[in-house]
Amino acid sequence: MTQSRLWTALPEWALYPLFLAPAVYLFAAAFMNALGADPLKALENQLGEWALRLLILGLAVTPLMRLARINLVKYRRAIGLSAFIYVSLHLLVYVWLDQQQNWSAIWQDIVKRPYITIGMTAFLMLAPLAITSNRLSIRKLGAQGWRRLHRLVYVAAILGAVHYLLIVKAWPLEPIVYFGLIVFLLALRLVPARRSPGSRKRDPANASLGASR
């Protein structure tokens, strides 16, 4: 595979400060009351949006390699873990600042409000993926089992986009675009690889996974 060095010039660790900078900014601005009239909603919503953006970026890695020959596999773990950090912060803000640890209200939300039920389900699906995003887990689960487990991200991403669509009034453009992008990136996986079926096993999109170097 030939590709520009540019795509992989950055070490993996360098992506964490890059991806987490928006979170640092959002929390700092929220604490300093600089996020407008309703800092809680601004913080909560924007953390959720960043989670979706990173999930979309993570889902784009495989199609980019297969269809555009851009290999970002090296960064997939950093993308995925950063997405999970945003999902967790989003949930933390909901529990701690939005519902103010009113556990009965939170429970009512989970059982009665589909958008919360769906959001919580997505979080519970992403948690095992974050926990197993390391080389030891790949070894323990085996490449096949690990890969199967991590396909949960497809479902979680769809649920995340539906969660957003269910909280807005009317049909504003942004959540529709997120949903459309996720569906598009998943659909690209149905496009057969540009090579003979016999070489599938050596397809780096499948073989290298998110946690490999």
Partner 1 sequence: MPSYRYPVPPASEITPRNIFLNRRSFITGGASAIALAASGVNVLAQDQDARKLNAVASALSTDEAQNSYEDITTYNNFYEFGVDKSDPARYANQLTTDPWTIKVGGLVNNPREVGIEELLTGYDLEERVYRLRCVEGWSMVIPWVGISLASLIDKFDVQGSAKYVAFETLERPSEMPGQRAIFPVLPWPYVEGLRMDEAKHPLTILAVGLYGEVLPKQNGAPVRLVVPWKYGFKSIKSIVAINFVEEEPTATWHKQAPREYGFYSNVNPNVDHPRWSQKTERRIGGGLFNQRIDTQMFNGYEEQVGSLYENMDLTKFF
Binding footprint of partner 1 on the chain (CB under 8 A): 30-31, 33, 36-41, 43, 97, 100, 102, 105, 108-109, 112-115, 166-167, 169-173
**Shortest distance in whole angstroms from residue 33 CB to partner 1:** 5
By beta-carbon proximity to partner 1, the closer residue of 40 and 158 is: 40
Least distance (Å) between residue 87 CB and partner 1: 20
4 versus 38: smaller Cβ distance to partner 1: 38
Write down the least CB distance from residue 36 to partner 1, Å.
6
The CB-of-32 to partner 1 minimum distance in angstroms stands at 9
Nearer to partner 1, 8 or 45 (CB): 45
C-alpha–C-alpha distance, residues 178 and 115, integer Å: 16
Q: CB of 181: closest distance to partner 1 in angstroms? A: 16
CB closer to partner 1, 3 vs 100: 100
Of 37 and 190, CB closest to partner 1: 37
d(CA 210, CA 74): 7
